[in-house]
Amino acid sequence: MSFSSLEASSLQASTSHALIPYGWDEGWEAAFAPYAAQGLLPGRVLRVDRGQCDLVTPIGTLRADTEFVVPRDPLKVVCTGDWAAVDPDGDPRYVRNLLPRRTAFARSTSSKRSEGQILAANVDHAIITVSLAVELDLGRIERFLALAWESGAQPLVVLSKADLVPDPVGLSYLVEDVETVAPGVQVLPVSSTTGEGLDELGALVAGGTSVLLGASGAGKSTLANTLLGEDVMGVQAARDVDGKGRHTTTTRNLLLLPGGGVLIDTPGLRGVGLWDAETGVGQVFSEIESLAEECRFHDCAHEAEPGCAVTAAVDDGSLSVRRLESYRKLLRENQRIVAKTDARVRSEILKDWKRKGAEGRAAMEAKRGGAGGRARHSGR
């Protein structure tokens, strides 16, 4: 099927009506204008697999090849949630270009190639799903939050399977524990069994695009089915011993919610490696960043320096040791990732290692010299 200029113009006029439920707005329309002039169709990527993708367009859902969008940077490949310019006809059809992303959720891969992996694009809300069937892993929650903040999306922590904690007081304590590691983030206990928290969650995701994130067995697919009002995603039981489950979702799928908004469901993430997420780490640990501004030295490492406001807060109990150690760990990890792709950062890290090594050797020499001096004095 080929399109005349008149038909293309008519399609462009109907685009807003067809794509508005998927997040199309005046900003996307303006960004797409140059491609509209070329007779291309706008579409939102619903899923990607084997070098092809499904897109929702003004003429329905299309299958298109991504061959023309294969950049060297793995973070710029076609991804679920992308807005694309696609051929209006042809067999096969091709995605010709992507519109600039407003937000992008990325992590480092588990490979040794130091590459980033894009998980979802143009997301407004990052729903970090944490199961209450197992003991809370606050460090893992902090890690997810850092990636969410860095993406540009607004994080939300959902404590799933809240029906497994029937004591309201006990549940409130768990919520408080998570709130302490999630400043500026809403923490919402929900249950797909009892319906607790679902109305509030549905209202939150009704505007914009949301992505479900979490480990296998966290209850993401069950939660997605509940929000969708039908069993779209497969569900498998989590192991009783550790609450972990198999990957019931194997691809990232963009789904239209009946109450408004769209939802991207993702496979369970075993590894949550940071990818250039220094700003996100700073937002997760905002209280430590604020304390650091009060340290005597601007380059304070918050270890043994005099006048350190951070270690003082640990000493007086207002900051937990676990929280500070987690902050240090994520900063070190992020620095290592950035250093693998940034020569300037590698150089700065090397200089810092040399400086600390020299300081350590000087301290040892001073200690030896002091001991020798005392021995000579004693001998006299």
The reported pTM is 0.79
The per-residue pLDDT for range 17-29, each reduced to its tens digit, is: 789 999 999 999 9
DSSP label of 260? S
Residue in the block written with tokens 């890290």 = 349
Contacts of residue 255, Cβ cutoff 8 Å, sequence gap at least 6: 224, 228, 232, 262, 263, 264, 265
Q: Among 11-15, 82-86, 252-256, where is mean pLDDT lowest?
A: 11-15
Structure-model confidence comparison of residues 9 and 215, the more confident one = 215
Q: What angle do CA 175, 177, 182 make, to 5 degrees?
A: 85
pLDDT reading at 103 higher than 60: yes
Q: How far apart are CA 71 and CA 368, in angstroms?
A: 58
Structure-model confidence comparison of residues 107 and 254, the more confident one = 254
- Express as a percent the part of the chain with pLDDT over 90: 55
Structure tokens, 180: 């302490």
